Chain A
Amino acid sequence: MSNAPTVTSIAAGLGFPTLLRKELLRFWKVSFQTILAPVITAVLYLVIFAQVLADRVNVYGSVPYTAFLIPGLMMMSMLQNSFANPSSSLIQSRVTGNLVFVLLPPMSHREIFWAYVLAAIVRGMSVGACVWIVSLYFVAIPVKEPVWALLFAVLSCGIMAVLGLIAGLVSEKFDQLAAFQNFLIMPATFLSGVFYSVHTLPPFWQLVSHWNPIFYTIDGFRYGFFGLSDVSPWHSIAVVGGVFVALTFFTLRLLASGYKLRT
């Protein structure tokens, strides 16, 4: 061992790249559970719903129901997995106590925020890409507006990643996190037009759907594939981008305050 070191002599960079890498590896090491399982779930939905409803549901006039379903299922899987990544990582670290290793180093709240959020976006996008690849077996859908599709995918995963971070910060026990998933995330994703076009709903439920920001993520993402959507993609991107920015500011303030992290 060398003589007592002085920290100032060591050229130190940011902790962000390492925390991002660790969060990526955390889900990659259990990719059977974090990537493959949600892909299988999405494919089951596709097989069952497409089989049952293909001849009964008419959407956008010319788009077959199976094709209509695929972007919705992709987005639903992306949203749920983007939420799951930071929320499960934080709650596990909190319960096992190893969160202290993230809190002891000199990382800023911004580094911690972006590492968790970007890792979650990568997981969401990976699941979405895998669902799309598998869905090619059933029906090959064109991507008419790839830039729109990519933009909505990234921002939508970002929204759920930030919500997952908030849920992980707020929850002290697994049942509290489960409540977030069961009472907020699941209803918001299922009731946002994954399986139907909101134009087929009664006027009241159409109005309710327009207050659900998740509706705009799915509708905008669908526009990227078909060039058709229930509302204008500009309207959707404004809502999705606005929600992402608002949640980002809120969560950065939460992290900077040390909420439930630094007592």
Chain B
Amino acid sequence: MTAVSFEHVSKIYPPRSNGWKGLFRAPTGPGLQALDDVSFSVKPGEFFGLLGPNGAGKTTLISVLAGLTRATSGRASVCGHDVLTDYQAARRSLGVVPQELVYDPFFTVRETLQFQSGYFGLRKNDAWIDEILANLGLSEKSDTNMRALSGGMKRRVLVAQALVHRPPVIVLDEPTAGVDVDLRRSLWEFISRLNREGHTILLTTHYLEEAEALCNRIAMLKRGSIIALDTPQALIDQAGVEDLEDAFVHIMNAEIVTAEAA
């Protein structure tokens, strides 16, 4: 069984009409192809990186997996559960840390985690919530309103929310964007520990040194298509460069040359 699987997933966003026109008139136009026939799988316990420039389709791919976006064609599954036909089991198996710093300003950190736990049907989960709070350095902030937290603390709460139902697969969508060095280090220590304990991690990031250090395998995405997929070392060797950052630049540019030549 695979932890995560994408089979020929494509996504075309329909064109949009803004404002009131959208309520009464069907939009026309070609739409935006965000994903184009993406297929790959992630093995259980793997630390998998998804790299690509802005607009490559990373967040759309994660959204398809999380059920936030419906693929135009193809199939995605989590731990063998189809994200559409068996969505409840698929979502129970998945924890997502969103890219944006989103929070509900009405509630405290503990309430936020209790609600998130309850949404998954887990209402007596305080022991686990306390453990997550302690591991993410949030114990002292547990009764603080979300509005009063710093950006870094809010980011930790997002990670805690993704873990509250103990998902075997954790997706982190650029979790260290705009995060200071201390938090970044403690976050990676924590995520690495979860991975050693058997959690499958799917990570998107623009920090290539992090991806090189942490990931077992990396997929590179460009304009909605997978253009490379291998171990970090194999990608570096293949590009004939020193590190993953150079390999990334090389592969992205090589792909442009290939595309133009074709």
Contacts and interface: CB of A to CB of B under 8 A. Distances in A.
Interface of A: 1-7, 10, 12-15, 17-19, 21-22, 25-26, 29-30, 93, 96-98, 100-108, 170, 176, 258, 262-263
19 contacts: A2-B197, A3-B198, A4-B168, A5-B166, A10-B122, A18-B117, A18-B123, A25-B107, A96-B102, A96-B103, A96-B105, A97-B98, A98-B103, A101-B119, A104-B66, A106-B89, A106-B120, A262-B68, A263-B68
Contacts of A19: 115, 118-119
A9 to B, nearest CB: 9
A187 to B, nearest CB: 18
Contact of A15 (B63, B118, B166): B118
Interface in B101-124: 102-107, 111, 114-123
B92 interface: yes
Contacts of A108: 88
Contacts of B23: 170
Contact of A1 (B45, B63, B135, B165): B135
Contacts of A5: 166-168
Contacts of B93: 7
Interface string B37-68: 00000000100000000000000000100111
B45 to A, nearest CB: 8
Nearest to B92: A7
Contacts, number: 123
Nearest to B14: A263
A104 B62 CA distance: 11
A100 B98 contact: yes
Nearest to B100: A97
Nearest to A12: B121
Interface residues of B, number: 52
Contact of B102 (A7, A21, A97, A105): A97
Given A100-B98, A263-B68, A17 B105 contact: no
A5 B103 CA distance: 26
A107 B121 CA distance: 9
Interface of B: 13, 19-20, 23, 45, 63, 66-70, 79, 87-94, 96, 98, 100, 102-107, 111, 114-123, 131, 135, 161, 165-168, 193-194, 197-199
Contacts of B114: 18
A263 B63 CA distance: 9
Contact of B67 (A7, A18, A262): A262
A12 B168 contact: no
B115 A22 contact: yes
Given A7-B165, A106-B88, A15 B119 contact: yes
A27 to B, nearest CB: 9
Contacts of A104: 66-68, 91, 94, 96
A38 B141 CA distance: 34
Nearest to A258: B70
A262 B121 contact: no
